[in-house]
Amino acid sequence: MTWSVVVPDIVAGLFLGAFLALVAVGYSMVYGILRLINFAHGDFYMLAAFVSYSLLAVVTVGTKINWGNVVWVGIVTMIAGGVLAMAVERLVYRPMRRAAVLSVMIAALGVSQVLENGVLNIPGWGSNYLPFPVTPPSTGFNVDGIHYTWTQVVIVVIAVVLITAVWWIVNRTMLGTAMRAVAQDRAAATLMGINTDRIISLVFFIGGALAGAAAVTSSLYYGQINYLEGFSLGLQAFTAAVMGGIGNVAGAAVGGLLLGILESVGTGLFGAQWALLFAFGALVLTLWLRPTGLLGERVAQRV
């Protein structure tokens, strides 16, 4: 085995990793602030993909891609994803603030069922794989005989920019300080005059918006959408978030990229059917060696 065999897999994994990282950041932030594994998060991504599909289908004439349309559909989808996440938090999770976390998690599973089967029952969406209305052009450049398109580059750049922006908000702004305060101790944060409900809402909005961005970019990249794709991607994103050290943005990003690359390389080396095993094996190994994840702080659990 030489490196040249693995390099294309690593690059392909970078794309999967970019999507995973976008979803994982939302997962991780929600977890950080509520200690909730939000199983519905992957379905925010899925629903956002369907929203962008319908919007693009309406505005697109023929199959020619109109970047102006893609950009505003992307922005609207991000807002839609954010609003959806906020609505779910407001309607389901907020009334359960004082309930055991396991109960909230089961409610999240219920939300996930509702979203998936809701999409399944909406005319025009349904259970089939739907081809995405626009196909990005294949113009690009070659490295070592492998073709990369400009769209792929743009996708990675978008992911990096968005995640950096969120990292900046969380770690460098007053608002982010409030978020971290709420995550650390909700009661104390309230006493400091922080409107915790609003902060939690905002965290859900950011998570949902990132899932929306992942939905648009990955649908462009893979060219098709399906109502079940969200749940499995969500699981992978959760795995990625844990691998990187759950609760912090940088960890989720690193975990997402790493898991994407591992899955892709695993597929290349052992075949697609073993990719999942490879990825989870890596997770088990990571947590065994570093029980708080790659970038996780060493905190004693006292909950």
Partner 1 sequence: MPRESKDLAAPSEITPTALSDVEQPPASGLNVALSRLHPGLPVALVALGLAAFLPALVQNTYVVSVAMQVEILMCLALGLNFVVGLCGMLDLGFAAFFAIGSYTTGLLSVDSHWPILATVPVAVVASLIGAVFIGTPTLRLRSDYLAVITLGFGEIIQNIVTNLNQTGGPEGISGIAPLSVAGLTINSTAGYFYVFLVLTVLFTWVSYRVRRSRLGRAWLAIREDEDTAHAMGIKVHRFKLYAYMAGSVYGSITGSLYGAAFIAIAPPSFGFSESLLVVMAVAMGGIGSIWGALLGAGVVIASPEIFRQFATARLLVFGFLLVLIMVLRPQGIWPETGLGLERRARSVARSVRGFARPSTRRSGGRAQ
Interacting residues toward partner 1 by CB under 8 A: 31, 35, 37, 92, 95-96, 98-107, 109-118, 120-121, 185-187, 235, 238-239, 242, 246, 273-274, 276-277, 280-281, 283-284, 287-288, 291-293, 301-303
Distance in angstroms (rounded) separating the CA atoms of residues 203 and 253: 16
Minimum Å distance from CB 80 to partner 1? 20
Is 225:129 a contact under the CB 8 Å cutoff? Answer: yes
- Please say which residue, 199 or 242, places its beta carbon nearer to partner 1: 242
Question: Under DSSP, is residue 135 helix (H, G, I), strand (E, B) or coil?
Answer: coil
- Please say which residue, 2 or 273, places its beta carbon nearer to partner 1: 273
- Please say which residue, 64 or 302, places its beta carbon nearer to partner 1: 302
Is 162:29 a contact under the CB 8 Å cutoff? Answer: no
Q: Is 274 left (phi over 0), alpha (psi -120 to 50) or beta?
A: alpha
- Please say which residue, 35 or 177, places its beta carbon nearer to partner 1: 35
Minimum Å distance from CB 111 to partner 1? 6
Minimum Å distance from CB 266 to partner 1? 11
Helix residue spans in the chain (DSSP H):
3-34, 41-59, 67-88, 101-121, 150-172, 174-184, 186-191, 196-222, 229-244, 249-270, 275-289
- Please say which residue, 126 or 137, places its beta carbon nearer to partner 1: 126
Q: Letter for the amino acid at 1?
A: M
Minimum Å distance from CB 102 to partner 1? 4
Distance in angstroms (rounded) separating the CA atoms of residues 213 and 125: 20
Minimum Å distance from CB 245 to partner 1? 10
